[in-house]
Amino acid sequence: MKTVKIKALNEDIESRETIEVSDIKLMDQLTSIDVNTVPDFFENEDKEQGQGQKITSAKTNTFSSEFMPIAKLLASLLPMYLDYYFDIDYNKPLEKKFKTKGLEPAIDSVIASLTKSKNLTARLKKNLLLLKKLKTIKTNDDLIDTFETILEDLKFKLLATLDTFDKKFLRKVYSIYMNEEVNEESMIELFRMINKIPSKSLRTLFKSIKLFELQPKQMYEDAKTHIDKITSKLFGTPTPTIKTLEAFEKKSKTKYSNWKKEINWLNREAKAYVEDAWIEKGFDIVPVVKANAFLKSINVESPIDPGFQGQVSLGDSPSVVFKYYTKNKLLLAGVPGKDVVMNPNYDYKNDDNKDGYYCTSLSKGSFKTDRKQLYTLKHRQKSNGDIFVTISEVYEAVEDVRIQYNKDIKTLKKKDRKKWLAAVVIKLIDITWCRIGNRKSENNVNKKGEPRPTYGIHNLLGKHVKLNGDKARLIFQGKDDQLNDRPVNDTAIVAILRSLKKIAKFKGYMFTAKPGNDNPISKDFIKKYAKSIGFPGTLHKFRHFHASSMFSEFLDNAKTQPWQKKTVLKKFDKIVKKISENLSNQPTAALTSYIDHSLVISYFQHFKVDMPDKVKSALQKGFMASKGD
């Protein structure tokens, strides 16, 4: 959501019959309206100024008489719409009074106008029913849905029939509705146009608007208060112990998961506040002592573990406050957790980690007691290759990315079909581990020269989606002619696949910018969308992330087991095979290119078992490939 500040229009506009742009002045402070001073809505307004009468003599600066009722209705609905999608603060009693005494006459005026109009009736015939429905609407959701339907129809079907000022107003309302121009300049321009509508009471309503997003500090403080309240309700204290949290997680995984989501929200608000103040201070990379003093000065609890020694800068992800560095500003490949212990053999002067790591810590997000080693980015690039370094970036960003694509899947279907489809595609890539795909591969041939097309998620055909109740499977030939057969158990996504398949049928593409189009949305567009919601690197990194995550979970559990050599090797082969199946690939490829090599090394080191030659060969091959050798 964008930060928006709107200064209210000057009080004296209410006494003017004719409003010129030059007459509009901005007040230094936001204002509100005393409801007791506001007359009944639309009372005697037609007597004051006949409906449709031009307010100024210049045709380019007025609404046409035919469009005037529509302008009045759109302006009447706009405050409720803004209230729904943005932080809007205006006089609630005034708004309630307006809805009961102002909205219905506005709707009646539009219905009467459209019924008589030769130009508009044919195009808005179906909307007459929607307009009549507005008079009986009681919930905000229904109001917004109907408003969106009407606005879409006006935008795309009526634009050519309208006068210049009508078009300008309609475009401006539409841009606000699409969240494209929610800024001070745009809103002021819209308010000026609304003052061309001969409705004193409508102008009064808009003059009471305070449209703004709370400052980061206030949003963080509100989030902190909220989290303290629900945490105290769940645990009896705003600061529960690790033991208490672990017991609660075992007792109710769902409630614990929901609480963690709230904590993630708090972290996002904290990051926004810290980032705002950090930039204002002109900080870049600073020592931990200085960072902690800064956090204390703005009353934000430090996420930096007391045991960590080094420097920090702002993190790249919305919920990750800091990136961490050595004392000499070498970037670390990850974020330290809790109970940090520095490596006593680390040579700070030369930034030389003799034992291979900078520090160890426990995971903040779990109750596991095994310590994880944190390396410098430089060291990881030397030992692992660049391909696995970015996995840590995915770990940091993935929750925020999921929050955003899930939000877009819920809200963008009507507003922006392409972005909505991109969000669906990315979620499918995430939950199935599949590749995005390539249109060129649809022209592949086998060794005999016979057509052997291969696909990915973005260019799936209807025939590739197999539906069974509230479940689905994606079955298609992928890269290297590997059969992909992946389940989809997310009921909301299955419902979307079902609706898209009805349009695509058997041979059509599932994800098209327009229903029934001959081409799927482009791979480049999906990549740009992924970047816009904070996903680091290419979408292929989801496959590396999932493969390494599954092996990491296996490793954490394995370290608690008393396995002997035979079992160690057997269990290793089993997990690598499982990962390769999920990747629709071969075990060697999973080891070479997908599973983080440091995890594999850690596994064999823990059990003090020599790494098999085939594993060594796969890791070496992967390392050389990542270096381009």
What are the Cα distances from residue 391, in Å, to 115, 396, 542, 594? 61, 9, 9, 10
Q: Which residues pair with 474 in a beta bridge?
A: 465, 486
**The predicted structure's pLDDT at residue 583:** 95
**The predicted structure's pLDDT at residue 36:** 30
Angle formed at CA 316 by CA 311 and CA 320, multiple of 5 degrees: 75
**The predicted structure's pLDDT at residue 18:** 31
For the chain, which domains are there?
Answer: 11-211 (no CATH), 217-387 (no CATH), 401-532 (3.90.15.10), 541-627 (no CATH)
Top-ranked range on mean pLDDT: pick from 28-37, 97-106, 234-243, 298-307: 298-307
Q: How confident is the model at residue 434 (pLDDT cuts 50, 70, 90)?
A: very high
Q: Closest Cα to residue 361, out of 381, 335, 400, 383?
A: 335
Indicate the average pLDDT of the chain.
Answer: 75
Question: Average pLDDT of 386-405?
Answer: 75
Top-ranked range on mean pLDDT: pick from 271-280, 342-351, 452-461, 609-618: 452-461
Question: Model confidence over 64-74: pLDDT tens digits?
Answer: 777 777 777 77
**319 neighbors 271 (Cβ within 8 angstroms):** yes
Question: Average pLDDT of 595-613?
Answer: 89
Rounded to whole angstroms, the Cα distance separating 103 from 358 reads 65
Question: Average pLDDT of 290-303?
Answer: 94
Lowest mean pLDDT among 16-30, 320-334, 394-408: 16-30
Rounded to whole angstroms, the Cα distance separating 35 from 20 reads 26
- Is the model's pLDDT at 319 over the cut of 60? yes
**25 neighbors 13 (Cβ within 8 angstroms):** no
**Residue 118 per-residue DSSP state:** T
**The predicted structure's pLDDT at residue 389:** 53
**The predicted structure's pLDDT at residue 254:** 83
More confident residue, 254 or 304: 304
Q: Which residues pair with 287 in a beta bridge?
A: 311
Q: How confident is the model at residue 484 (pLDDT cuts 50, 70, 90)?
A: very high
**The predicted structure's pLDDT at residue 17:** 31
Q: Closest Cα to residue 505, out of 494, 516, 514, 513?
A: 516
Rounded to whole angstroms, the Cα distance separating 213 from 200 reads 27
**CB-based burial, 215-236: b 16+ in 10 Å, e otherwise:** ebbebbbebbeebeeebeebbe
Q: What are phi and psi of 223, to 5 degrees?
A: -65, -40
Q: How confident is the model at residue 24 (pLDDT cuts 50, 70, 90)?
A: very low
Other beta carbons within 10 Å of 87: 15
Question: Average pLDDT of 82-111?
Answer: 59
Question: Average pLDDT of 475-493?
Answer: 92
Question: Average pLDDT of 471-498?
Answer: 93
- Is the model's pLDDT at 244 over the cut of 60? yes
**587 neighbors 482 (Cβ within 8 angstroms):** no
Residue 293's Cβ-side half-sphere holds a number of Cα atoms within 13 Å equal to 7
**The predicted structure's pLDDT at residue 213:** 44
- Is the model's pLDDT at 188 over the cut of 70? no
Question: Average pLDDT of 501-520?
Answer: 89
**The predicted structure's pLDDT at residue 131:** 66
